[in-house]
C-alpha cells in the first residue's frame, strides 16, 4: 500500500525517476525463476525496492535480514534478463 508514497518520496529526494513499476522479469536460463520489480531507477538502471517496516520495530539489520533474499533475487533478475 505504501509503494506509491515511497516511490514519490524517493523521486523527490533523489531527483531520479522510477519507471517500469510492477514489471515482471523472467530469468534467461532458469525457466521457473521470475521477479516482479517495484521499479527501476531510470538514470542508473538500479532496482527500486519498496518495503514498509513498522516504525516501532524497525532496524536496518532486521530489514536487511528479512528482505535480503528477495532483493538479491530481484537484482540478479535485473542483471540476468534478456
Q: pLDDT per position in the chain (82 positions), as tens?
A: 788 999 999 999 999 999 999 988 888 888 888 888 899 999 999 888 887 766 666 677 777 777 677 666 666 655 555 4
* CA gap 76, 82 in Å, rounded: 12
Q: What is the pLDDT of residue 17?
A: 97
Q: C-alpha distances in angstroms, 56 versus 2, 7, 59, 60?
A: 17, 22, 9, 12
Q: What is the pLDDT of residue 82?
A: 44
Q: What is the pLDDT of residue 29?
A: 86
Q: What is the pLDDT of residue 78?
A: 55
Q: What is the pLDDT of residue 64?
A: 74
What SS3 class is residue 27?
A: coil
Amino acid at each position: 500500500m505504501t509503494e506509491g508514497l515511497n516511490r514519490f518520496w524517493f523521486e523527490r529526494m533523489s531527483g531520479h525517476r522510477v519507471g517500469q513499476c510492477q514489471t515482471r522479469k523472467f530469468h534467461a536460463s532458469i525457466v521457473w525463476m521470475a521477479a516482479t520489480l517495484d521499479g527501476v531507477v531510470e538514470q542508473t538502471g538500479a532496482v527500486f525496492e519498496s518495503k514498509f517496516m513498522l516504525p516501532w520495530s524497525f532496524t536496518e539489520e532486521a530489514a536487511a535480514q528479512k528482505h535480503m533474499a528477495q532483493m538479491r533475487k530481484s537484482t540478479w533478475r535485473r542483471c540476468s534478463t534478456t
